[in-house]
Amino acid sequence: MSWTPSSWRNFPIKQQPTYEDQALLHRVEEELASYPPLIFAGEARRLKEKLAAAGRGEAFLLQGGDCAESFSDFNAKNIKNLFKLMLQMNMVLMYSTGKPIVKVGRIAGQFAKPRSSDYEEKDGVRLPSYRGDIINSIEFDEAARVPNPKNMLKAYNQSAATLNLLRAFSRGGLADLNKVHQWNLEFIKDNPLGKKYDELSNKIDHAMKFMAACGLTSDMMPQLHQTTLYTSHEALLLNYEEALTRKDTDTGDYYDCSAHMLWIGDRTRDLSEAHIEYFRGIQNPIGCKVGPSMGEDELIALIEALNPDNEEGRLNLIVRMGASKIAEAFPPLLKKVRDAGKNVVWTIDPMHGNVEKSSTGFKTRNFDNILSEVEQFFAIHKEHGTIAAGIHLEMTGNDVTECTGSTSCAITDEGLASRYHTQCDPRLNASQALELSFMLSDAITEA
Ligand code: PEP
Ligand code: CO
């Protein structure tokens, strides 16, 4: 079957806005299509190689960031704090596992959100759901919820500026291994976790001094003063993704140049629908969420549709079952894929299967459930002789109170109210994410 960047339009599609002004939509699509790509195809190919290494157990994928980026929270501090948190987690994981960590942010394009209901009801008033800032606005009034095509232009510009800053941080000195102490975030410096991180930083300092004494300093070795943070998002709004799809002049292949890696959500992975059609034609590394409703034969068919050449590093299956379901639902899928000889990169998203409502009425996730799902994921892989290749988290470098539990900051149901800032799902705060990294490094080392 022939594929084009727009062939998805011939298939049924879920979770899309209905734009009233089609002429405006077309103008926006044309404008976006004339803009420069945000990433270069060569970078996406490089990430694919790194993911292939993760799939073989030679590296580990750390993917994380906001559930949803927003226009209102767009500032340098938020970007910098997430970048620093990624560097800290990278250091914890790299030091304990001795493996390179592939860092991929849910950032610079993570704007469109699938929703469990098309409508939201409050005090008897029913409005269309909020679908992310690239589509409509979060305020609970009629006008705010009308999808506006122009939001796509704003999302593109915000993504470009975000990516620009990330590239500057990566290359400009902030990631220098002589600065490991400075990555510690202000609000965790003094808690036991901050101290634990400081101890690790001291060891790295010693190693750096030893190497400098040998004549190897960071200014002569780019590996020691630079890093790479790749970008990713759920490619949900296909009008936007199509407009940023470009033919690579080197290879003649198509790439979605809105991010290095894109994934398909658990609600839009139907084999006969538009998202599968779009994704099969782009050559970026891609992900697909695997929730508890996934069937064994369905998964094999999905792998064959998305990765017909069984290419390593092409397909990341992001398991998100929930702590109470993974033990039953995941092993049959894993066995089937293993026995079929399919090359996939298995990672765990311990966030989306563990959503609950707190006694105080907040949408939250409990740290113990998150940790439990991660631990079970590793144990199941160990039992099957397969590779747990990475983790996918919703997290922020800021001091928010959105997920309950953890020993480092112990947020209670009552405590959620104090700094509950998320635009969509509850995120781990920096302290919880760092705590998870320390626990994760034990699990990886054991595996
Ligand atoms: C998400 O990653 O934000 C998301 C909506 O996940 P899922 O598709 O797994 O529900
Ligand atoms: Co989410």
Q: What long-range pairs does 32-35 form, CB within 8 A, spacing at least 24?
A: 32/152, 32/153, 32/156, 32/240, 32/243, 32/244, 33/243, 33/244, 35/156, 35/244
Task: Please work out whether the CB of residue 365 comes within 6 Å of at least one atom of ligand 1.
Answer: no
Q: Tell me the HSE value of 300 on the side-chain side, using a 13 A CA sphere.
A: 12
CA of 196 to the centre of ligand 1 (A): 32
Task: Please work out whether the CB of residue 66 comes within 6 Å of at least one atom of ligand 1.
Answer: no
> What is the predicted pLDDT for the residue at 301?
98
> What is the predicted pLDDT for the residue at 59?
97
Residues 366/403, Cβ–Cβ less than 8 Å: yes
Q: Tell me the DSSP string of 175-212.
A: T-GGGGGGGS-GGGTTSHHHHHHHHHHHHHHHHHHHHH
> What is the predicted pLDDT for the residue at 196?
87
Task: Please work out whether the CB of residue 287 comes within 6 Å of at least one atom of ligand 1.
Answer: no
Which atom of ligand 1 sits closest to the CA of residue 68?
A: 3
Question: How large is the C-alpha radius of gyration of the chain?
Answer: 21
Task: Please work out whether the CB of residue 265 comes within 6 Å of at least one atom of ligand 1.
Answer: yes
**E strands, 298-349, in order:** 315-319, 345-348
Residues 279/66, Cβ–Cβ less than 8 Å: no
Measured by CA distance, the residue closest to atom 10 of ligand 1 is 266
Q: What is the block-wise mean pLDDT of the chain (447 residues), using blocks of 10 residues?
A: 95 97 98 98 98 98 97 97 96 92 98 96 96 97 97 98 98 90 80 86 92 90 93 98 97 98 98 98 98 98 98 98 98 98 98 97 96 96 97 96 91 95 94 94 81
> What is the predicted pLDDT for the residue at 290?
98
> What is the predicted pLDDT for the residue at 407?
85
Beta-sheet pairing, 355-357 with 363-365 = antiparallel
Which of 116, 267, 325 is the best mutation target for the ligand 1 pocket, counting ligand atoms within 8 Å of the beta carbon and taking the most?
267
Task: Please work out whether the CB of residue 275 comes within 6 Å of at least one atom of ligand 1.
Answer: no
Q: Tell me the DSSP string of 106-119.
A: EBSS------S-SE
Task: Please work out whether the CB of residue 392 comes within 6 Å of at least one atom of ligand 1.
Answer: no
> What is the predicted pLDDT for the residue at 265?
98
**E strands, 261-417, in order:** 261-264, 286-290, 315-319, 345-348, 355-357, 363-365, 390-394
**H/E stretch holding 300:** helix 296-306
CA of 426 to the centre of ligand 2 (A): 8
Which atom of ligand 1 sits closest to the CA of residue 291?
A: 9
Could you read off the pLDDT of 376-394 as tens digits, one per residue? 999 999 999 999 999 999 9
Task: Please work out whether the CB of residue 100 comes within 6 Å of at least one atom of ligand 1.
Answer: no
Which atom of ligand 1 sits closest to the CA of residue 264?
A: 8
Q: Which residues pair with 318 in a beta bridge?
A: 289, 347
**Cα–Cα distance measured from residue 417 to residue 296, given in angstroms and rounded to the nearest whole number:** 41
Task: Please work out whether the CB of residue 289 comes within 6 Å of at least one atom of ligand 1.
Answer: yes
Domains of the chain: 7-167+233-446 (3.20.20.70), 176-225 (no CATH)
Give the Cβ contact number of residue 171 at 10 Å.
14
Tokens of 446: 């054991």
| 3-state secondary structure string across 395-443 | ECCCCCCCCEECCCCCECCCHHHCCCCCCCCCCECHHHHHHHHHHHHHH
Which atom of ligand 1 sits closest to the CA of residue 424?
A: 3
**Closest-CA residue to 317 (of 390, 257, 384, 268):** 390
Ligand nearest to the backbone CA of 289: 1
Which of 115, 117, 234, 354 is the best mutation target for the ligand 1 pocket, counting ligand atoms within 8 Å of the beta carbon and taking the most?
234
> What is the predicted pLDDT for the residue at 187?
74
> What is the predicted pLDDT for the residue at 368?
96
Q: Rounded to the nearest 5°, which phi and psi values hold at 13?
A: -140, 145
Could you read off the pLDDT of 134-187 as tens digits, one per residue? 999 999 999 999 999 999 999 999 999 999 999 999 999 999 888 888 888 777
